[in-house]
Structure 1
Amino acid sequence: MTNYRTTYRTTHLTAHARRALVLTLSATAVAGTLAALSPVARAQSPGASGPALAWGPCAGPGLPGQECAELPVPLDYRDPDGPQLTLAVSRVRSDRPAARRGTLLVIPGGPGGSGVARLVAKGKALEKEMAGAYDLVSFDPRGTGGSSKAGCGLDAGDRQLVTLRSWPAPDGGITENTARSRRIAEACARHGGAVLRSMSTANEVRDIDRLRQALGEEKLSAWAASYGVYPGAVYAQKYPQHTDRWVLDSSGDPDPSRVGRGWLANLAVGAEDRFPDFAAWAADPAREGEGLRLAERPQDVRPLFLALAAKLDRAPKESATKGVPLTGNLLRQALLNSLQRDDLFPQLARLVRQAQDPAARPVLPDALAGPLPDESAAAMTATVCNDVRWPASVAAYRRAVALDRARHPLTAGMPVNVTPCAFWKNAPAQKPTRITAEGPSNILMLQNRRDPATPYSGALKMRQALGDRARLVTLDHGGHEAYLGNGTACGDRAVTAFLTTGRRPERDAYCAD
């Protein structure tokens, strides 16, 4: 039986909000884009309401029975018969036709994440949970994986995750961040073209509906995670009649005026919420034999980490990657990446120990050892910059950084710092969609209390916006993207039951870890 307690009043949610330290979007989830399977074919069906999909073998390793295709979508939906892009699409068909009830769409995170790669990673577990109830389908959004891409022509130094994230200088200065942000925005305007300008949440939502038509489905069910929750919620707002059972896993604040910017800002609180989990793990005597125990008491891990980051600010340490020293900001970025999952804690603790050892050359995590591909950097930047206009006052960013560094030293002001969006040349094509309570009551939200990327406080705002359309299952757990990964058995059971039977908690619910 599912082990959760139902909650009966919205005031209980407010109490949770006060008790839980906040978190936000998976800006960290874009630490790298998984390589997607390449689709092989595309075809139009003359009598269909949308383009037909010509399924064929996938050009790469995948799941048994997995098929791939290409979906044509308009570059600009105002000109539907004009230039077309292609999206990589993949599916695993139900192996139990008698049990099949529809199609479950896996909506990837990011921005910049590959849905095709996510289906490969999660498909086997998802097949087991769904027991033939769905064809499993996913896609690579514009600019990602095997779909149409565009680049900005960025230098390698501007494509490092630690520079794409605007980490202030050791003294808190943002002069270099401002210059880099201008440089990236100008390069994207110069080289990205119409394809880069088309990367947005609004177009992803239109593309999802185009995919629904091509699949021949009147309604879709969906599992959206991380950034994917936002296009998932927008789809449910714009096309409620085409939604069946809708799961939003790890939600951000849907405030339309702060799309992207608000998610990034909340990383500061997300790190604070999640860090105690790492501290407890790193001080556990069980780490002694692994050579990874950082302190005798959990409360000593935080000052140790902050002191080490400050030391590396003053004197970066040569790493095992030629030309990429371990700096204080690189260590902080490694922290944000590693807080996503418990199984990344050893990697972070090892890096800390190597940084402390005068004779060691720290081995950098792969995501931090080299630049992102130009097209990946372009996609993760363009999507949020195209969604909504960001403030342009450098002085305001400077003030925000100073305040945030004092409040949240683990993230040193980066989450509120200036980004290329402040100088973006492409004006948003439309205002972001406001998420409301209007629509069918067919949404289940799943959220870890200590999520470093999409904070619990943001999920509560999404929950409030959706009203009676949704139920929220809260997990007393840490980590990002909860279902079939970083959650609990109780949470997994709740989502599986909803997708396979339609059974959903009558009220918001709480799962003990």
Structure 2
Amino acid sequence: MKRQRGISRSSALAVVLGLGGSLVAAPAVADGPRAPQVRWATCPEDVVAEAAPTELQCATVPVPVDYADPGSARIDLMISRLAGANPAKRRGTLMLNPGGPGGSGLAQPALLVARGLPAGVLDSYDLIGMDTRGVGHSAPVKCGFTLDGPYITNIPPYAVDDAAVTARAKVAEQVAEQCARNDRDGSLRHLTTANTARDLDRIRAALGEERTSYLGYSYGTALGAAYASMFPERSDRIVLDSNIGDTHLDRDGMRRFALGMEQSFPDFAKWAAARHDSYGLGRTPAQVRRTYFTLAKRVDKAPVAGFDGNLLRQYTFGNLFKKMQYPKLAQQWQTLANGGDTAARRLLSQNATAGEVPPSFDNSLSVFLAVTCNDVEWPENVDTYRHGVAKDRKRYPLFGAATANITPCAFWPHAPAEPPVAVNDDGPRNVLLVQNQRDAPTPHHGGKMLRQKFADRSRLLSIDDSGHGAYVLGDNPCALNTTTRYLVEGKMPGKDILCRAG
């Protein structure tokens, strides 16, 4: 089937967070160690502004569009650098990835500094941020998405019944066709996790490093797992934080978002119940949960200021990522519960208006789709998704009928050019997996999955906490100290560790 096909809406944007084809698989080997080849200069203005007051340097590294064709065209990838603060203690490079796929990482070194990245790490490494292929300043791709279109987030809308899955299938097919129409230079099919891992090795070589360390969050764990698997002897100290469970995001991985919401929601419910006199959402966590279902059902039937049940569910999911977002979520629920259209419009307008489209909106959605759909084959039969929605609506009632719904990957015009990268457990013991026990988009199960696949190459650091992102982004001292000790001193835990609530 697919091989024949050569003001409130912005609230869901926070969610935008990732077999054998007919082609011969591209080789894993990239360039070996060499003298540094990059020329550092001032970063683009948008990167300078985002990184301020930290000053970064930027450069470009050329890579092949298609690694299976040595003579293919080249694209320039932009990278950034925050040089190590103490040359005498410098160990090497620490490559960074913020997740996505589709997230810009050029300012990430500065953002981690602002969050308190320990001085020992800053002394030990040049921090290397980057826009991976297709993103931002690295040959960006765009499908042409707009806020007033039917596709505004990479998580499908909540399907209230079978008919909703059928209706969404039409949108998903149109989106896949739209991406194909806008792919005028044929670059979309080359956006894969495997190719991006090959790009990392080109960057390592261009920097003149024999090996590189790596810190990746969310989808960045899939990229890091792929790099450590494809280039085990060129990987130094690898930290994968908030793991999706493999080297790619597939249908099962997206469905685990619903598991993560079920596991994370009780923390919010407990928080809201303790503040019932302020928000009125329920005096017990069970009552708060019932309030969620009552509100969702109500706005399913009668949206408030354009805010319907799908947006409520997406908005709730996105605001479970960080505990600091709980007050905003509670305020939103309270406004919707009161039913005041004017008050709801005033509150919603604080997020964004229909005309305020983030510059990265189209690009981020497009890269997410390309990488996710190109990495692995997705089911094409709409009935498969109907059955999945019916099952997950029962087992994960908070969000399951959304994450099991159909995506454009079912109609993607390109078959995967190679199998997804297999996790390689034959290599140095250098992979530290960091995972909160309650994480909406990347539940703890993802960390356990990679721990099993990497076997003795890895150790799992579990944290009794809720939220997306633990190292530096969280506030657990055990997680911070253990990870910093590994990055700076190379002390990998001898066994898996559970960090108690700090």
TM-score, normalization by structure 2: 0.87
- Corresponding position of 2:4: none
The answer as to whether partners of 1:223 and 1:246 remain within 8 angstroms in 2 is yes
- Corresponding position of 2:25: none
Change (3 A) 1:246 1:412: closer
- Aligned amino acid, residue 58 of structure 1: C
- Corresponding position of 1:11: none
- Corresponding position of 1:322: none
- Corresponding position of 1:176: 167
The answer as to whether partners of 2:304 and 2:339 remain within 8 angstroms in 1 is no
What SS does structure 1 have at the residue aligned with 2:447?
Answer: helix
- Corresponding position of 2:216: 224
Number of equivalenced pairs: 461
Q: Is 2:376 the counterpart of 1:388?
A: yes
Deviations 1:221-279 (A, max 9, x none): 111111010110111111011111111111122287xx332221101110000000000
Instruction: State percent identity of aligned pairs.
Output: 39
Q: How does 1:427-446 map to 2 (within 5 A)?
A: 427-446=415-434
Matches of 1:330 and 1:72, distance apart in 2? 41
Give the drift of 1:429.
0.9
Deviations 1:395-425 (A, max 9, x none): 1111111121122221151111110000001
What SS does structure 2 have at the residue aligned with 1:116?
Answer: coil
- Corresponding position of 2:308: 327
Give the drift of 1:454.
0.9
Query: Which of 372, 381, 385 is residue 397 of structure 1 equivalent to?
Result: 385
- Corresponding position of 1:366: 351
The answer as to whether partners of 1:65 and 1:93 remain within 8 angstroms in 2 is no
- Corresponding position of 2:242: 250
The answer as to whether partners of 1:130 and 1:499 remain within 8 angstroms in 2 is yes
What SS does structure 1 have at the residue aligned with 2:93?
Answer: strand
Q: Is 2:125 the counterpart of 1:137?
A: no
Query: Which of 401, 405, 414 is residue 426 of structure 1 equivalent to?
Result: 414
Deviations 1:280-323 (A, max 9, x none): 111114x64xx3352211211001011101100000111xxxxx
Matches of 1:490 and 1:215, distance apart in 2? 33
What SS does structure 2 have at the residue aligned with 1:136?
Answer: strand
Where do 5+ consecutive residues of structure 1 fail to align? Answer: 1-26, 33-46, 319-324
- Aligned amino acid, residue 339 of structure 1: L
Matches of 1:253 and 1:244, distance apart in 2? 21
Matches of 1:48 and 1:87, distance apart in 2? 19
Give the drift of 1:489.
1.1
Change (3 A) 1:169 1:337: same
Give the drift of 1:131.
4.4
Matches of 2:454 and 2:297, distance apart in 1? 43
Change (3 A) 1:119 1:150: same
Q: How does 1:80-99 map to 2 (within 5 A)?
A: 80-99=70-89
Give the drift of 1:80.
3.4
Q: How does 1:13-28 map to 2 (within 5 A)?
A: none
Give the drift of 1:188.
1.0
What SS does structure 2 have at the residue aligned with 1:135?
Answer: strand
Q: How does 1:285-324 map to 2 (within 5 A)?
A: 285=275, 288=277, 291-318=278-305
Q: Is 2:347 the counterpart of 1:356?
A: no
Q: Is 2:110 the counterpart of 1:116?
A: no
- Aligned amino acid, residue 243 of structure 1: S
What SS does structure 1 have at the residue aligned with 2:60?
Answer: strand
Matches of 2:472 and 2:56, distance apart in 1? 20
Change (3 A) 1:367 1:401: farther
What SS does structure 2 have at the residue aligned with 1:447?
Answer: strand
The answer as to whether partners of 1:28 and 1:336 remain within 8 angstroms in 2 is no
Matches of 1:150 and 1:507, distance apart in 2? 43
Query: Which of 21, 25, 37 is residue 52 of structure 1 equivalent to?
Result: 37
The answer as to whether partners of 1:94 and 1:100 remain within 8 angstroms in 2 is yes
Change (3 A) 1:431 1:148: same
Give the drift of 1:371.
5.7
Give the drift of 1:31.
2.4
Change (3 A) 1:487 1:470: farther
Q: Is 2:88 the counterpart of 1:101?
A: no
Deviates more, 1:431-440 or 1:302-311: 431-440
Give the drift of 1:505.
1.3
What SS does structure 1 have at the residue aligned with 2:441?
Answer: coil
TM-score, normalization by structure 1: 0.85
Give the drift of 1:205.
0.3
Give the drift of 1:84.
1.4
Change (3 A) 1:229 1:314: same
Q: Is 2:450 the counterpart of 1:450?
A: no
The answer as to whether partners of 1:157 and 1:371 remain within 8 angstroms in 2 is no
- Aligned amino acid, residue 399 of structure 1: H
Matches of 2:352 and 2:406, distance apart in 1? 22
Change (3 A) 1:177 1:231: same
What SS does structure 1 have at the residue aligned with 2:462?
Answer: strand
- Corresponding position of 1:76: 66
Change (3 A) 1:214 1:70: same
Q: Cα RMSD (Å) of the superposition?
A: 2.3
Matches of 2:73 and 2:403, distance apart in 1? 37
The answer as to whether partners of 1:107 and 1:115 remain within 8 angstroms in 2 is yes
